[in-house]
């Protein structure tokens, strides 16, 4: 079993990036199986709680601002088909922004649940004293002339836990904060000389990648989760949905036109000059009829007669249901089937 301390910055990076979902799922599964346990100082829960709202808001603002700037630039400088294609792509991204925000909120909720199921280590005076000594001696993480007290507390908690000799238990300290914890000028995977004595190649690991640690614990699980993530069910793009709405609208209209055409050809509906048109449902003005015939020819050319029915009741219901659902997603009311 591994007991692991995951730095606050790693948890925040997991929450920010929806692509890290498989890693979060791996942590959940390995905790449930008892293959890992979290070393969770109170400092991490406090820092994560203080930064949750910020990462949600910053993610939304930064993406929205970037999209606005890109649209403005393309609107001023873009030309022709390339301009239209670029703006369509940006509209797709804009449409997905709420989903990206929801993925961050979901990840935060999942991390909160992991914290709730783990024992929180309160910070005692001994840990505070050792952290203060590091500050006085300017040892890492105080070597960069900055206030590294929170980082020092994390390290001292980890060092205290990892110093315990428990049979079958290994330890790992995982951070993305390589400027404060890694050896300057060397590989980021090497701990700073001031903290290196707490680590070894086997029993106590210093790591800058959560995925690499989880692969050591259960390589098959992590690999399978990563493979599954390569083919996620991506939401449809806005341009795809608009194109589908246009096609379904054409086909529903064509089906309704077919009913009118049959009625005209059978004599049940009369084509009359516009001046003779009345509210009689069994008449249709000639100019409207000719315009409908022209529009029908365009639809036939666009999709091919073989793709325009005739449809049975089930197929007609599917066409109408798809159009209604897509329009609802795009902001219309349910059952909006006007053509």
Supply the pLDDT for residue 3: 96
For residue 336, tell me if it sits in a domain: no
Decide which of 68 and 27 is more confident.
Answer: 27
Q: Are residues 164 and 285 in the same domain?
A: no
Supply the pLDDT for residue 151: 95
Residue 153, burial from CB neighbour count under 10 angstroms (0-12, 13-18, 19+): buried
For residue 59, tell me if it sits in a domain: yes
Lowest-pLDDT choice from 84-93, 277-286, 294-303: 84-93
Q: How confident is the model at residue 259 (pLDDT cuts 50, 70, 90)?
A: confident
Decide which of 207 and 20 is more confident.
Answer: 207
For residue 339, tell me if it sits in a domain: no
Task: List C-alpha distances in Å: 131 to 89, 139, 152.
Answer: 50, 10, 5
Tokens 């680590």 correspond to 199
Judge whether 195 and 130 are in contact, CB under 8 Å: no
Segment 244-261 mean pLDDT: 87
pLDDT tens readout for residues 33-69: 999 999 999 999 999 999 988 887 775 555 556 566 6
Sign of CA dihedral 176, 179, 183, 187: positive
For residue 334, tell me if it sits in a domain: no
Q: Are residues 263 and 225 in the same domain?
A: no
For residue 247, tell me if it sits in a domain: yes
Side-by-side strand order, sheet with 204-207: 36-38, 2-6, 170-174, 204-207
Q: Are residues 212 and 271 in the same domain?
A: no
Q: Are residues 49 and 149 in the same domain?
A: yes
Q: Are residues 184 and 268 in the same domain?
A: no
**Cα Rg, the chain, nearest whole Å:** 31
For residue 253, tell me if it sits in a domain: yes
Segment 312-319 mean pLDDT: 86
Helix 80-116 to helix 8-16 angle (10° resolution) is: 140
Instruction: Return the bridge partners of 120, or none.
Output: 40
Supply the pLDDT for residue 231: 44
Q: Are residues 265 and 313 in the same domain?
A: yes
Query: Which are the contacts of 125, defined by CB distance < 8 A and separation ≥ 6?
Result: none
Judge whether 134 and 143 are in contact, CB under 8 Å: no
pLDDT tens readout for residues 168-218: 999 999 999 999 999 998 889 999 999 999 999 999 999 999 999 999 999
Provide the domain limits for residue 324. Answer: 238-329
Number of domains, the chain:
2
Q: Which of residues 185, 208, 229 is at a domain's end?
A: 229
For residue 45, tell me if it sits in a domain: yes
Mean model confidence pLDDT for the chain: 84
Q: Is the pLDDT of residue 337 over 80?
A: yes
Q: Is the pLDDT of residue 230 over 50?
A: no
User: Rounded to two decimals, what is the model's pTM?
Assistant: 0.62
Q: Are residues 222 and 319 in the same domain?
A: no
Q: How confident is the model at residue 273 (pLDDT cuts 50, 70, 90)?
A: confident
Q: How far apart are CA 94 and CA 67, in angstroms?
A: 7
Q: Which of residues 175, 202, 229 is at a domain's end?
A: 229
């Amino acid at each position: 079993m591994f007991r692991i301390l995951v730095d606050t910055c790693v948890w925040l990076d997991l929450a920010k990036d929806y692509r890290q979902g498989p890693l979060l799922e791996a942590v959940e599964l390995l905790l449930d199986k008892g293959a890992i346990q979290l070393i969770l100082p109170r400092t991490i829960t406090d820092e994560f709680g203080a930064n949750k709202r910020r990462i949600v808001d910053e993610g939304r603002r930064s993406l929205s601002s970037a999209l606005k700037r890109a649209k403005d630039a393309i609107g001023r400088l873009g030309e022709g088909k390339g301009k239209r294609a670029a703006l369509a792509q940006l509209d797709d991204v804009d449409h997905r922004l709420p989903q990206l925000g929801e993925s961050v909120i979901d990840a935060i909720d999942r991390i909160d649940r992991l914290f709730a199921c783990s024992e929180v280590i309160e910070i005692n005076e001994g840990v505070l004293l050792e952290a203060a000594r590091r500050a006085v001696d300017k040892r890492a993480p105080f070597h960069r002339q900055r206030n590294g007290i929170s980082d020092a507390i994390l390290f001292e908690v980890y060092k205290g836990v990892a110093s315990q000799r428990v049979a079958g238990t290994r330890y790992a300290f995982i951070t993305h904060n390589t400027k404060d914890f890694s050896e300057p000028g060397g590989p980021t995977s090497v701990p700073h000389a001031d903290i290196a004595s707490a680590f070894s190649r086997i029993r106590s690991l210093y790591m800058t990648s959560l995925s690499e640690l989880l692969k050591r614990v259960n390589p098959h699980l992590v690999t399978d989760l990563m493979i599954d993530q390569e083919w996620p069910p991506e939401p449809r793009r806005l341009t795809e949905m608009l194109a589908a709405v246009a096609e379904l609208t054409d086909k529903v209209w064509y089906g309704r036109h077919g009913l009118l055409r049959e009625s005209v050809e059978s004599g049940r509906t009369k084509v009359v000059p516009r001046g003779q048109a009345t509210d009689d449902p069994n008449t249709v003005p000639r100019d409207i009829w000719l315009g409908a015939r022209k529009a029908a020819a365009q639809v036939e050319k666009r999709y091919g007669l073989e793709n325009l029915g005739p449809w049975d009741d089930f197929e007609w219901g599917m066409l109408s249901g798809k159009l209604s659902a897509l329009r609802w997603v795009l902001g219309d009311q349910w059952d909006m089937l006007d053509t």
